[in-house]
């Protein structure tokens, strides 16, 4: 089921969520705190995958569980606020994603179990002791995002004949984005490409970043995070205006007008995160549940964007795409 098919359904459900939560007797139902990176609209497909799997496992919203939803909208100041609110609410488990959000949540509680639906490198970020034995109150799923940087750069080179210079945009307030930025730099150097680092920390930094590479870069690699997610349409519009083919990690960015994405299938990760929640609500300790890796990867191409850029995509490349958006 695609986002456009169930946004209306989720929108109606969203209006009822606070009412559902407030109507329950305190302590009557187990409570999940769900912290989204951006907005309900942007993450509706992920929420649907998560709640569908919960239902399959016997956890039905409003009947056997309550879910408190909060959205950071890509704003760093919201991360601490949301984490603190979940602690005050004494939720039974917190589901979140992205290194900054998980770090903020972990700093607020060492007691409430935390499940991350997606984090780039939880060991290097200090979130878990190891993938096999996370320890503490945190576990979840890793996206292996930095390991895929080289593949994404290679795909850009296939699309742009004679590619010489690539711009790499990253929210440097996100530790994992900084790691991916370094990986992308290394991949560009290995392939003999020059590169420009576009470091952003807030939405207001996006326009100046594009001004800085005007007439220089021939393609744009964007490191994903909540800030980028919230501003993906702005980024894609600017990239199209600058005639820059774009490479992302996830399908949602290509749906919003980006050219290509290659990375873990996010709905699958959110679906699997529900299994972690199920185990924890049934008594398992998060520190004993191993961190898992992606098993599904998607390569998505937006053919409409390719045509707008005047690109002739190689047939071999098109044949390898899992989906072509027209």
Spans of all domains in the chain: 3-144+265-296, 146-264+298-325
Q: Is 112 left (phi over 0), alpha (psi -120 to 50) or beta?
A: beta
How confident is the model over 194-252, as pLDDT tens digits?
A: 999 999 999 999 999 999 999 999 999 999 988 998 899 999 999 999 999 999 999 99
pLDDT score of 147: 66
Question: What local confidence, expressed as pLDDT, does residue 175 receive?
Answer: 85
What does pLDDT average to over the chain?
A: 90
d(CA 9, CA 215): 44
Domains 3-144+265-296 and 146-264+298-325 share a fold: yes
146-264+298-325 CATH fold: Rossmann fold (3.40.50)
- Checking if the pLDDT of 26 tops 60, the result is no
| pLDDT tens digit sequence for 255-266 | 999 999 999 999
The CATH class, in words, for 3-144+265-296 is alpha beta
- Of the candidates 140, 109, 105, which has an alpha carbon nearest to the alpha carbon of residue 123? 140
Exposed/middle/buried for residue 192 (C-beta within 10 Å: 0-12, 13-18, 19+): exposed
Closest CA to 33 of 222, 257, 280: 280
Torsional sign, CA 237, 311, 264, 266:
positive
């Amino acid at each position: 089921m695609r986002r456009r098919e169930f946004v209306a359904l989720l929108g109606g459900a969203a209006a009822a969520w606070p009412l559902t939560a407030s109507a329950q007797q305190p302590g009557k139902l187990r409570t999940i705190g769900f912290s989204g990176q951006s907005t309900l609209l942007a993450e509706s497909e992920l929420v649907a995958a998560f709640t569908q799997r919960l239902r399959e496992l016997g956890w039905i919203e409003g009947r056997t569980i309550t879910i408190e939803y909060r959205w950071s909208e890509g704003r760093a100041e919201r991360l601490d606020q949301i984490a603190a609110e979940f602690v005050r609410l004494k939720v039974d488990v917190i589901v979140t994603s992205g290194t900054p959000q998980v770090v903020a949540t972990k700093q607020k509680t060492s007691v409430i179990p935390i499940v991350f639906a997606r984090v780039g490198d939880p060991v290097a970020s200090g979130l878990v002791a190891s993938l096999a034995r996370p320890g503490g109150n945190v576990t979840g799923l890793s996206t292996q995002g930095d390991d895929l940087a080289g593949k994404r750069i290679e795909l850009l080179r296939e699309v742009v004949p004679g590619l010489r210079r690539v711009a790499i945009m990253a929210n440097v307030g996100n530790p994992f984005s900084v790691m991916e930025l370094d990986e992308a730099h290394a991949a560009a150097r290995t392939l003999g490409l020059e590169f420009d680092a576009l470091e952003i920390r807030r939405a207001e930094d996006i326009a100046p970043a594009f001004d800085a590479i005007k007439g220089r870069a021939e393609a744009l690699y964007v490191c994903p995070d909540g800030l980028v997610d919230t501003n993906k349409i702005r980024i894609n519009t600017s990239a199209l205006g600058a005639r820059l083919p774009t490479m992302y990690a996830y399908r949602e960015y290509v749906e919003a007008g980006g050219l290509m994405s290659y990375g873990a299938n996010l709905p699958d990760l959110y679906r699997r995160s529900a299994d972690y929640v199920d185990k924890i609500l049934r008594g398992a300790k998060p520190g004993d549940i191993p961190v898992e890796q992606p098993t599904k990867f998607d390569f998505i191409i937006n053919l409409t964007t390719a045509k707008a850029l005047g690109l002739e995509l190689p047939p071999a490349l098109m044949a390898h795409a899992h989906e072509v958006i027209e």
